[in-house]
Chain A
Amino acid sequence: MIRQPNRALCILLLLIAATLTAAPVTGADIGLFGDVTFVDSDAPDASSTFVLGVLDVYVTQEINDRMTGFVELVFAADDGGEFEAEVERLWIRYEVANAFQIAAGRFHTPIGYWNRTYHHGSLIQDTAARPFFLDFEDDHGVLPTHVIGLMASGDAWAGVGTFHYELTVGNGQSLDSSGGLDPAPADRPELDPTNLGDLNNDKSVASRLSLRNDRGWQIGAFGLTQAIAESGALDRGSLVATGETLADQTLLGFDVRYEGKRYGLLSEYFRIDHDGPAGGHDATAFYIQAWFDPAEKWRLVYRFASLDSDERDPYFRLLGLPAQDHHVMTLGYRMDEVSVVRLEVDRLAGSPTLADATTIRAQWAFLIP
């Protein structure tokens, strides 16, 4: 069932699409990503199930020589099983020069390669699931994957390759701690990108600088700083008053990517520092993913992803994600440019609080361009 407010969003999207497609020369590009996944796991309380992934509609349009608009709207089932629509990305960008473009709206935060490249449609990534610590906020992710504000970006040729930079200034994220430090899974709060307005005057600042050459290599370095604001209230048991800082968060990291004709590599490393009323804590997260094409249309992928966090850190306790490792092996068959089927085995291990578990995913992901 789609709730009333979401109908309004649908109508808005259709109106935007109709308006954009009316352009005489530069037709709007509209596409729909979707996936259906069968999941089976030996984790406690898990049952085998078919899962409708997100239904992801995007529209992009070059409004004139210098201005581009983009909308990404995702329909996904919420925790109660009802479909909800959410604007995941919405921005308008003006190109002053190749080296300087300015955009306003809601973006995927420039923290690493994955978050800026793969977005919500799983077709374009090589695995059925994202690295677990890069899950989106509404999937109980622990990193600020969305930001609302301004983005400056640009690129420049540097002889050895193309430099690209992205810099965002936007609302800081918030968390509701009123459910206590170790809430039950059903009561876990989500990081909130604060769509409706920042809860304090501290803005989030993030940036990424990358260099890509013609031989398939790309390296990047990135950082983010923000104050995570309390969105709960003291009279409901929150740790601090509404709008006050739960934790100052600093992310630093780098990413490396190589894409050859038949094999490739992608890796990202994050250092996550928190400083709040409960003291300072740090964590590290990384993944290494390698792929190989044994035959045309086939791709074999292995990924090791790891989160090493301080179990006393209130941030990770609130979000309910303890330290853990994942070994992921995926075999994908690209049926054509618009659909892929995958079989994925995901082994969770190395957690002090979670039992080892194996999850199997069989996914059919597609694009209707």
Chain B
Amino acid sequence: MTSVRARPPFGCKLPATILALAVLLAPPLYGDVAVVTAEATPIDALDEAQAKALWLGTIERVEGVKLAVADRSDAEIRTEFYSRVLDKTRGQVKAIRAKRAFQHGIAPPPELPSDESVLTWIRARPHRLGYVDAESVEGPVKVLLIIQVPERSEPP
């Protein structure tokens, strides 16, 4: 005889729904996101369209300056950057970069694990760009763009 398990209300499991809501409504663990570069890089600002094109690989230069970008391996800030600047999911970005790698032999950007590692990487050589929590910016680096991350509302 087959046992029939009662379905939860609305066809979903309540604990999973609560968990998902908690994740969605929780305030981010960081503040605004800053796009940064070394002081020696000869550009002073970026707009969001330029940042999107650089991270998707559709352009390599801004004001004639060739730039290299780094990505992040920590999912939280990466997801925020992808959704607010690139308007893409992780899977979409991966596919776009795969096609670029295949077409032009350009390896995907390095994935750095922390704000500190990004700051170290961009300071090591001019013309490198990364994104970090704006509050962690320190030392001889230049902020090219601030991406506002609005505070999420508290759950009722």
Which residues of A come within 8 Å of B, CB atoms?
Answer: 25-29, 31, 33, 58, 60-62, 65, 68, 70, 72, 89, 91, 93, 98, 117-119, 121, 123-124, 155, 157, 159, 162, 214, 336-338, 367, 369
Residues of B within 8 Å of A60, CB to CB, are 101-102, 105-108
Residues of B within 8 Å of A89, CB to CB, are 105
Residues of A within 8 Å of B60, CB to CB, are 162
Give the distance in Å from the alpha carbon of A42 to the alpha carbon of B66 in the complex.
51
In the complex, B27 has a CB within 8 A of chain A: no
CB distance from A147 to the nearest CB of B (A): 15
Residues of A within 8 Å of B65, CB to CB, are 157
Residues of B within 8 Å of A214, CB to CB, are 59
Given A162-B61, A337-B92: A124 in contact with B102 (beta carbons within 8 A): yes
Pairs of residues from A and B, 8 with the lowest C-beta to C-beta distance, nearest first? A157-B64, A337-B95, A62-B107, A369-B98, A31-B98, A26-B110, A29-B101, A70-B105
Give the distance in Å from the alpha carbon of A61 to the alpha carbon of B109 in the complex.
10
Residues of A within 8 Å of B108, CB to CB, are 26-27, 29, 60
Residues of A within 8 Å of B97, CB to CB, are 29, 369
Residues of B within 8 Å of A58, CB to CB, are 101-102
Give the distance in Å from the alpha carbon of A62 to the alpha carbon of B108 in the complex.
8
CB distance from A99 to the nearest CB of B (A): 10
CB distance from B116 to the nearest CB of A (A): 13
Residues of B within 8 Å of A155, CB to CB, are 66
Residues of A within 8 Å of B66, CB to CB, are 98, 155, 157
Residues of A within 8 Å of B59, CB to CB, are 214
Apart from the given pairs A60-B107, A119-B102, A123-B99, 14 other A-B contacts in the complex at a CB distance below 8 Å:
A25-B110, A25-B112, A27-B108, A28-B107, A29-B101, A29-B108, A31-B101, A33-B102, A65-B125, A68-B106, A119-B103, A162-B60, A337-B91, A337-B95
Given A61-B107, A98-B66, A157-B61: A31 in contact with B102 (beta carbons within 8 A): yes
CB distance from B69 to the nearest CB of A (A): 12
Q: Size of chain B's interface in residues, with CB distance under 8 A?
A: 26
In the complex, B32 has a CB within 8 A of chain A: no
In the complex, B111 has a CB within 8 A of chain A: yes
Give the distance in Å from the alpha carbon of A291 to the alpha carbon of B8 in the complex.
51
Give the distance in Å from the alpha carbon of A28 to the alpha carbon of B107 in the complex.
8
Across the interface, do B107 and A367 meet the contact criterion of CB distance under 8 Å? no
Across the interface, do A367 and B105 meet the contact criterion of CB distance under 8 Å? no
Across the interface, do A367 and B98 meet the contact criterion of CB distance under 8 Å? yes
Residues of A within 8 Å of B105, CB to CB, are 60, 68, 70, 89, 91, 93
The 29 sampled A-B contact pairs (Cβ below 8 Å) are: A25-B112, A26-B107, A27-B108, A28-B107, A29-B98, A31-B102, A60-B107, A60-B108, A61-B107, A62-B107, A68-B107, A70-B105, A91-B105, A98-B66, A117-B104, A118-B103, A119-B102, A121-B102, A124-B102, A124-B103, A157-B61, A157-B66, A159-B64, A162-B60, A336-B95, A337-B95, A369-B91, A369-B94, A369-B97
Nearest residue (CB) in B for A91 is B105
Residues of B within 8 Å of A70, CB to CB, are 105
Give the distance in Å from the alpha carbon of A306 to the alpha carbon of B53 in the complex.
36
Among B64, B94, B106, B111, contact of A25 (Cβ-Cβ < 8 Å): B111
Nearest residue (CB) in B for A67 is B107
Residues of B within 8 Å of A28, CB to CB, are 107
Give the distance in Å from the alpha carbon of A208 to the alpha carbon of B78 in the complex.
38
Give the distance in Å from the alpha carbon of A369 to the alpha carbon of B98 in the complex.
6
Give the distance in Å from the alpha carbon of A369 to the alpha carbon of B107 in the complex.
13
Residues of A within 8 Å of B125, CB to CB, are 65
Q: Which of B9-62 contact A (CB under 8 A)?
A: 59-61
Most buried by B among A61, A62, A93: A62
Give the distance in Å from the alpha carbon of A29 to the alpha carbon of B105 in the complex.
10
Give the distance in Å from the alpha carbon of A117 to the alpha carbon of B99 in the complex.
10
Most buried by A among B61, B96, B105, B112: B105
Across the interface, do A27 and B111 meet the contact criterion of CB distance under 8 Å? yes
Residues of B within 8 Å of A367, CB to CB, are 95, 98-99
